[in-house]
Structure 1
Amino acid sequence: MRILLTNDDGVYAPGLTVLQAIAEQLSDDIWIVAPSEENSGAGHSLTLSRPLRVRRHGDRHYSVDGTPTDSVLMAVAKLMKDSPPDLILSGVNRGGNLAEDVSYSGTVSAAVEGTLAGVPSIALSQCYSREGAGNSVSFASAEHWGVKVLKPLIALLLEKRAMPPRTLLNVNFPACAADQVAGVRSVGLGRHDYGRVRIITNKDPRGFDYHWFGLAPTETTPEHSSDLEAVGENYISVSPLHLDMTHYESLEMLDQCLSAESALKP
C-alpha cells in the first residue's frame, strides 16, 4: 500500500513526524509531500498567482512552497504521477479540526483534494487544552492510538463501495494522556458559538496599524453525538465528510420560490 503523507503545519512540523511513525507501521511505501511553511487556516486555497518550487529532502520526501492543496496536487499530478498513492493521510495537525473549523482547515482540505483526485483520504488532528501552547502540544494520544484507529478505517475506505463516493474521514484525538482516552466514536460535526476570533491590533515600526487574528475563549455547549462532545469526553472522534455541499432538502422549496416568479419564466 502506497501512502502519501501531507499536512498544513509544514514539512518540519512535529505532527508530521508523528504521522510518519504511524504510517510506517502500516506500510513500507511512504511518500511525504508537504508545504514548506506553516499553512494553518489556508483552507482549500490553490496558488495561481505565482510559480511553485519543489524541494527534495530525501527519497520520496518533498516540500512545496505553497498550500496543502498545492502539495497534494503536486504529488498526485507530478511527483507520483507514475506511481499514484493508494491512500492519503493528512496531519497530524497541531490542534483540533472540529465543527465548522473543517472549512478553514488546510489539514482537512488536503484530504478533500485527495478525495477529489479519487484517492481515499483521512485527516488527523491532535486537540490541545489551551491556546498558546506552542510547541509544547502533546501528541501522546495520537501516537498511541493512531495505528489502532487507522487500521479499520483504511480497510473500510479501500474496500470497494464500502463508503459512498467523494467521502473522506476526519479524525480528532482528544487532549488527554493516552491511557485516559475513553474510546472511539463515529459522530457528526458540532457547532461552535460564532465570534471566537479576537483581533489584536498594534503598530509597526513606521507607525502603521497592523492586525492579527487569534482565537478567543468561548463557551460552547456541544450538541449530542457531535465531534465537540466526543473529544470533550476524551473520545477519539471520527466524522465522515462529503464533498457534495448541496442541501437537498431545500431544492423543492427553492424550485417553488423561483417558479412562482413570473418574471423568471422563459
Structure 2
Amino acid sequence: MSLFIKLYQRKQMPKILITNDDSYEAKGLEVLYKAMREIGDPIVVAPAHPKSACSKSLTITKPLMFKKIKENFYKLEDGTPNDCVYLALNEFFKNKLPDLVVSGINHGANMGEDVNYSGTVGGATEGAIHGIKSIAFSQVLKSYDNPPSKIDWEKTKEIVKDIALKVLENKITLPHRKLLNVNIPNTKKIKGYQFTKLAYRIYGNEAHKHINPRGEEYYWLGLHPLNFKEEKGTDFWAVKNGYISITPITLDITDYKLLEQLKMKSEK
C-alpha cells in the first residue's frame, strides 16, 4: 500500500480529540491514545500537570501556552482539561469540529457525585457543550498508587475502543449535548456492560490541619474511601459486581420535578 493511500485513509477516519486530568505523562492517556489510533485520527491536548478534581474550570486570569511533545500530541501549560478542549477546538479544529471527544483514562473511579468534581468528566463536558459526542473514561483502582499498577491495560484499551466505536457508529445513541461517563472495574473477569444512574456518594471530612516549619497552619485535603449507598442500577453497584458502568449525563441540571412543584405552590 502506497504512502499516499495510507494518508488518504487516515484523512477519512474520524477525528478524535483526547484530553485527561492526570497530565500528559499519565499511563491512562497513553493507553487511550493507542486505542483511538486504531479507530480514528486522534490529537492529544492534555494538562502539563495533574489537575484532578478541577471539575469544569476554565482559566481566565492568565495566558495559556501549547507545548508540542510530538506530532499531534500537545501539553497545555497550567491548563485544565476544559482549557485543553476549549483551546484545541479553537486552534486545531477551526474548519470542522472533531467527531468525538474522549477524556481519560482516569487513574481511579469517577462515580456518583464525584462527577461534579472530576476533571476527567469536565473535559468530556466541554466537548458536549460544543455539541460533540463526548465520553469520560475511568479505570477503577484497588489502591491509590500512581502510576497505577496491577491493571490489565490491554483489556482496558479494548474496552474504551469498543465503546468509542459504538458511539461513533451510533450503536450507542448519544443525543445533542449529552455525554457518557464510563467506569471500568478492576477485576479479572468483566461480566459486560450496564447502563446505569449515578450512585449516592457518602463523603467524610478528610481535611487535615498541620503546622509548617514557620509555625503557620495549613490544610491538606485527603482521599475519601469509595463509600456509596447500595442500590442496584447505579454505577457503583455495576462496578462492584464486575460490570462496566456507562452513565449518560446531561448538561441541563434543572430539577424539573421540583420546578413544577414550586410553580404549583406559587400559583395557589
TM-score (normalised: structure 2): 0.88
Task: Describe how 1:96-245 pairs up with structure 2 within 5 A.
Answer: 96-130=109-143, 132-140=144-152, 141-156=155-170, 162-177=173-188, 180-195=189-204, 197-217=205-225, 219-245=227-253
1:46 is aligned, of 31, 53, 58, to 58
Match of 1:90 in 2: 103
Structure 1 distance, partners of 2:158, 2:42, is: 20
Could you say what the CA RMSD is over the residues aligned between the two structures, in angstroms? 1.8
CA change 1:258–1:137 in 2 (3 A) is farther
CA distance in 1, matches of 2:114, 2:236: 11
Distance 1:163 1:149, change over 3 A: closer
Give 1:156 shift: 2.0
Moved more, 210-219 or 37-46: 210-219
How many equivalent residue pairs?
Answer: 252
* 1:79 maps to 2:92: yes
Q: Distance in 2 between matches of 1:57 and 1:253?
A: 53
Structure 2: gaps of 5 or more residues: 1-13
Question: How big is the shift at 1:219?
Answer: 4.4
CA displacement 1:29-78 (0-9 Å, x = unmatched): 11001111100000001111111111111222111121111000010112
Q: Unpaired segments of 5 or more residues in structure 1?
A: 261-266
- CA distance in structure 2 between the aligned counterparts of 1:87 and 1:144, rounded to whole angstroms: 17
**CA-to-partner distance for each residue in 1:69-123, whole Å, 9 max, x for gaps?**
1000010112322353111110000001101100000111111100111111111
Percentage identity across paired residues of the two chains: 35
TM-superposed deviation, 1:144? 4.0
Q: Distance in 1 between matches of 2:206 and 2:100?
A: 37
Q: Give the Å deviation of 1:198.
A: 0.9
Per the alignment, do residues 216 and 123 of structure 1 end up closer, same or farther by CA in structure 2, a change over 3 Å counting?
Answer: closer
8 Å CA contact 1:18, 1:139 repeated in 2: no
Deviation at 1:166, TM superposition (A): 1.2
Q: 1:138 to 1:149 in 2, by over 3 A?
A: farther
Q: TM-score, normalised by structure 1?
A: 0.89
Q: Residue type matched to 1:31 in 2?
A: I
Asked whether the equivalents of residues 94 and 137 of structure 1 are also in contact (C-alpha less than 8 Å), the reply is no
Maintained 8 Å contact 2:86/2:126? yes
